[in-house]
Amino acid sequence: MSFYVYILKCSDGSYYTGHTDDADVRLAAHQDARSDSWVSKRLPVELMFIETAETREEALAFEQQIKRWSRVKKEALIARDWERLQLLARNYSEPPVHGSTSSPRTE
């Protein structure tokens, strides 16, 4: 059985990260306006990122990791921009400016 970690973009521009063992059913549940969840108040949502994990524990750990990330770092993951994600993982609060010789600020 596979497990999935996903990121949704909500109508207000916010991101929601979750995990599931059935992506189709879970995404349909998020779109169900009858539920009283955080996501249902921000419909419609768009699937921006999905990745498989071998175990529920791995999926949950990745979900929790992503939830601690900044918006910029989540967007690098969504874009699968591994170079930028690696830079952001070094705790840079701003991406390097092309042609700049100064170092980015740290958080």
Residue 94's pLDDT is what? 52
- pTM for the complete prediction? 0.81
- Residues of the chain with pLDDT below 70 are 34-36, 91-107
Report which residue type is found at 79. A
Edge-first strand listing for the sheet containing 45-53: 15-20, 3-10, 45-53
Residue 22's pLDDT is what? 96
> What is the DSSP code string of 51-72?
EEESSHHHHHHHHHHHHTS-HH
Structural domains for the chain:
3-68 (3.40.1440.10), 70-107 (no CATH)
Kind and range of the H or E run holding 9: strand 3-10
Residue 26's pLDDT is what? 92
Residues 25/67, Cβ–Cβ less than 8 Å: no
Instruction: Tokens 């699968």: give the residue.
Output: 80
Extract the tokens encoding 42. Answer: 């921000």
- Give bridge partners of residue 3 from the DSSP assignment: 53
